[in-house]
Structure 1
Amino acid sequence: MTDRITANLPAIDFGATSEFYQALGFKEDFHDSGWMILSRGPLVIEFFPYPNLNPYQSSFSACVRVDDVDGLYTAWAVANLPKTGVPRLTAPVSEVWGFRASYLVDPNGSLLRCLTKLD
């Protein structure tokens, strides 16, 4: 196994969270009443229950570093997520700080900053 760190994010409802991420190509690797692990190739997100979370006030986030943020956005765009509100997906933009970035907010209000380093 390669050394790694995975994001741990809240889930208001494991079933709804799993369904949302499955539409983005993730699969369930583990699920019990206290923990859920979803993966899409090397991208792994682990979830803990947080049933009283207000998704509009969430400050949870993670960075998703990929070689091709445009390709990831294209793959996720088939889920037809809105561009505003919760959940949402925004198209990639070039950032001043040296990355091309796309942003996904899941139904729990967690922000995933999807980043590709610009050369």
Structure 2
Amino acid sequence: RIARVIARRIQRLKLVDGGHSEHMETVLRWMADKEGELALPRASFPRVPHYCAGCPHNTSTAVPEGSRALGGIGCHYMVTWMDRSTETYTHMGGEGVTWAGQAAFTATEHVFQNLGD
């Protein structure tokens, strides 16, 4: 928007070739075309982040059936919305502290702890 305003003002003040610049016109047309492309309708379905196909987190964050895990930060946080039996998260360096707080109040003897990236 700013570039368009400046270009039109320069043309109006006749500071460039009597108020006309082919290069400026070309750039302004290119900008208008780009704005038109950006205005096109986009897909309305949500794209939920997931691990990349070759990412080692695909397998390292899977827990054995009947087990549960606690989330870390970074990529490990994404498991909290995947079907991986992973709950909670914490700041970097605090991994495991959530289990320390829970352990005394549950019959669960073991959980898996994902560490931050």
Structure holding more strand per residue? 1
More helix by share: 2
Where relative contact order (Cα < 8 A, 6+ residues apart) is larger, the structure is 1
Answer yes or no: same fold by TM over 0.5. Answer: no
Structure possessing the higher radius of gyration over alpha carbons: 2
